[in-house]
Amino acid sequence: MTEFTDGARVVPDGPGIRRRRRERGWSQRELARAICDAHERATGRRVGFNLNLLHHVEEENEPVDYATLVLVAGGLDCDPVELVAARGERLGAGARA
């Protein structure tokens, strides 16, 4: 089993994140709001979430810190490990070497 630390860089399952967002009928802006709300409920602190980052995660599987993926998972009410791309999914359309 893979273990992650907050600072570890991970490749998100961008299409999976987009699918979960769309299943809820949310725009990226609405997901960003849900992420902020979930973080505030969990910690009592408000955070901002960059829409450009969310776009890159969904469209290009842009690697992010695991802590960022934890925030996204909070907004989608799922386990962050469910949002990690399977091995080999990084290299695709729009991916950078």
Q: How confident is the model at residue 96, as a pLDDT?
A: 36
> What's the pLDDT at 8?
80
Per-residue pLDDT at 62:
86
Q: Which residues contact 20 (CB under 8 A, 6 or more apart)?
A: 76, 78
> What's the pLDDT at 1?
43
- Measured CA to CA in angstroms, residue 94 lies from 58, 66, 82, 86 at distances of 11, 21, 22, 17
Please tell me whether residue 65 adopts helix, strand or coil conformation. strand
At 9, give phi and psi (nearest 5°). Answer: -85, 130
pLDDT score of 17:
96
Residues (pLDDT < 50) of the chain are 1, 90-97
The predicted pLDDT at position 20 comes to 97
1, 59, 31, 29 alpha-carbon torsion, rounded to 10°: 160
